[in-house]
C-alpha cells in the first residue's frame, strides 16, 4: 500500500513522541511492504510563533490531501495567556471541525504488568476493556462565547443530526464488542442532555435493538469509572463530558502516556493522537512515554488504512515491550525508567523480529 500521512508534532513533548510514532510507521512499512509518505506541518503554539495562527491554511490543505494525520500535542505556558485572541487549542479544535471529525474513539485496557501503576485496587481493574466514543465538534467547546469584565458565557448547542451520527458510530462499534452501550448525559439538569437522551433512545431502539442500552448521568459515570469500570463496554457522550471522563479513565491504565485516540468522520481519513497534553514540565528531557502515540499509529493503520494485521502487530509489539519491562518513568519503578527513544526502539526491534520470523 502507498499512503500519505501528515505528521503534526505540535508543542512540548509532541515532537518527541511523534518521532517514535514515525519510526514505528517506517518499520511497519519495511516489514509489511508498504510505502508510507510522511510529511510535516505546524499546528498549535509552534504555528502561532511562525504564522500568527494556530491552524495555518497550509496545514489544513496538507491535512485534506493526506490519507491520515498523526498529531503529538499542542499548547504550553508560552501561550497560556487567557486574554490572548489566538491560542494553540484553536488549531486543534479547528482542524477537527474543518475535517468533520465528529467521533473521538478512546479505548482503555489494562496491561497486567501495569496494574500496580494505577491507584485503584487490582480487583477493581480486573476485566476492564472499555471504549469511549466522544462527540468532538459540537457542544460547549464550539458554542457562542461571550466575555465581559464581570460576566462570561459559553453556549452548549447540539442538533439532532449531530447526536444521531455519533450514537450510530458508537452503536456500530458496540455491535462488534459486547453489545452494551452506555449513554452519558446530564438530563436531570440540561436541555441539551434531554435532547441527547431522547434521540439516543430512539436511534438505538429503532436501529440497534440487539444492543443493551443504559443511560447514566455524568457525575454517576465518574463515580462508576472508579468503582466498577469493568461494567462498561462502549460509552457514548458529548464533547466536554467525554473530555473529562477519558482523562479520569487514564488513571485505570496507570498513565495518560498509555492511551491512544482516533478522531473520525464519515470517510476513512482520521486524526490520531495520544490523549495526553504537551507536558511542558518534561519536554526536552527525553522521558515522555511514547506508547500512547505508537498505539495511535495502530489505530491509524486500522481505521484509515484498513491494515488490521499491521495494527495488531503494533499493538502486540507495545504489549511485548511492556512485558519485557521497557517502561518510561511515568509507569516504571523510581529511578528505573527508560528514555522515550529506548521505548520506541524496542517496539521497532520487536516488529523487525516479527519480520524475520
Question: How far is Cα 305 from Cα 256, in angstroms, rounded to an integer?
Answer: 25
pLDDT at 83: 76
Residue in this structure with the C-alpha cell 509532541, named with its chain if needed = 14
198-251 tens-digit pLDDT:
999 999 999 999 999 999 999 999 999 999 999 999 999 999 999 999 999 999
Separation CA 219–CA 186 (nearest Å): 8
State yes or no: pLDDT of 18 exceeds 80. yes
Active site residue 185: no
178 CB-contact burial (10 Å; exposed 0-12 / middle 13-18 / buried 19+): middle
186 as an active site residue: the answer is yes
Active-site entry in 154, 179, 180, 247:
247
110 Cβ neighbours under 8 A, 6+ residues apart: 118, 125, 128, 252, 253, 254
Model confidence pLDDT, tens digit, residues 20-30: 999 999 999 99
Q: Which of 179, 180, 186, 352 is catalytic?
A: 186
Side-chain-side CA neighbours of 285 within 13 Å: the count stands at: 13
Q: Report the C-alpha gap between 355 and 338 in whole angstroms.
A: 25
Share of the chain above pLDDT 90, in %: 96
Whether the full predicted model's pTM is greater than 0.85, yes or no, is yes
- 219 among known catalytic residues: yes
Q: Which of 49, 219, 281, 323 is catalytic?
A: 219
- Residue 288 pLDDT > 70: yes
Q: In this predicted model, what pLDDT tens digit does every residue of 140-170 receive, in sequence order?
A: 999 999 999 999 999 999 999 999 999 999 9
Give the Cα separation of 287 and 283 in Å (integer): 8
Of the residues 141, 208, 272, 291, only one is catalytic, namely: 141
Bridge partners for 262 per DSSP: 105, 272
Residues 6+ apart with CB under 8 A from 143: 154, 155, 156, 157
Amino acid at each position: 500500500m502507498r499512503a500519505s500521512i501528515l505528521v503534526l508534532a505540535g508543542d512540548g513533548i509532541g515532537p518527541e513522541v511523534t518521532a517514535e510514532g514515525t519510526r514505528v510507521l517506517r518499520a511497519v512499512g519495511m516489514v509489511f511492504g508498504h510505502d508510507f509518505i510522511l510529511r510535516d506541518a505546524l499546528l498549535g503554539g509552534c504555528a502561532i510563533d511562525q504564522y500568527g495562527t494556530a491552524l495555518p491554511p497550509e496545514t489544513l490543505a496538507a491535512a485534506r490531501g493526506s490519507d491520515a494525520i498523526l498529531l503529538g500535542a499542542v499548547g504550553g505556558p508560552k501561550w497560556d495567556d487567557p486574554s490572548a485572541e489566538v491560542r494553540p487549542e484553536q488549531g486543534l479544535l479547528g482542524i477537527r471541525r474543518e475535517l468533520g471529525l465528529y467521533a473521538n474513539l478512546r479505548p482503555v485496557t489494562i496491561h497486567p504488568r501495569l496494574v500496580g501503576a494505577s491507584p485503584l485496587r487490582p480487583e477493581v481493574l480486573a476485566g476492564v476493556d472499555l471504549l469511549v466514543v466522544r462527540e468532538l465538534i459540537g457542544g460547549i467547546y464550539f458554542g457562542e462565547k461571550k466575555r465581559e469584565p464581570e460576566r462570561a458565557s459559553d453556549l452548549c448547542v447540539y442538533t439532532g443530526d449531530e447526536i444521531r451520527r455519533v450514537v450510530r458510530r458508537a452503536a456500530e462499534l458496540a455491535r462488534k464488542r459486547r453489545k452494551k452501550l452506555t449513554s452519558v448525559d446530564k438530563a436531570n439538569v440540561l436541555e441539551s442532555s434531554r435532547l441527547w437522551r431522547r434521540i439516543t433512545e430512539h436511534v438505538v431502539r429503532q436501529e440497534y435493538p440487539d444492543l443493551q442500552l443504559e443511560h447514566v448521568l455524568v457525575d454517576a459515570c465518574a463515580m462508576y469509572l472508579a468503582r466498577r469500570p469493568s461494567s462498561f463496554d462502549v460509552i457514548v457522550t458529548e464533547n466536554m463530558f467525554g473530555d473529562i471522563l477519558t482523562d479520569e479513565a487514564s488513571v485505570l491504565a496507570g498513565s495518560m502516556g498509555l492511551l491512544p485516540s482516533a478522531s473520525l468522520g464519515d470517510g476513512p481519513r482520521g486524526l490520531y493522537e495520544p490523549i495526553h497534553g504537551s507536558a511542558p514540565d518534561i519536554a526536552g528531557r527525553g522521558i515522555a512515554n511514547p506508547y500512547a502515540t505508537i498505539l495511535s499509529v495502530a489505530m491509524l493503520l486500522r481505521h484509515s488504512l484498513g491494515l488490521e494485521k499491521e495494527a495488531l502487530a503494533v499493538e502486540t509489539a507495545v504489549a511485548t515491550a511492556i512485558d519485557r519491562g521497557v517502561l518510561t518513568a511515568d509507569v516504571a519503578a523510581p529511578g528505573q525508567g527508560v528514555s522515550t527513544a529506548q521505548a520506541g526502539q524496542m517496539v521497532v526491534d520487536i516488529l523487525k523480529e516479527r519480520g524475520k520470523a
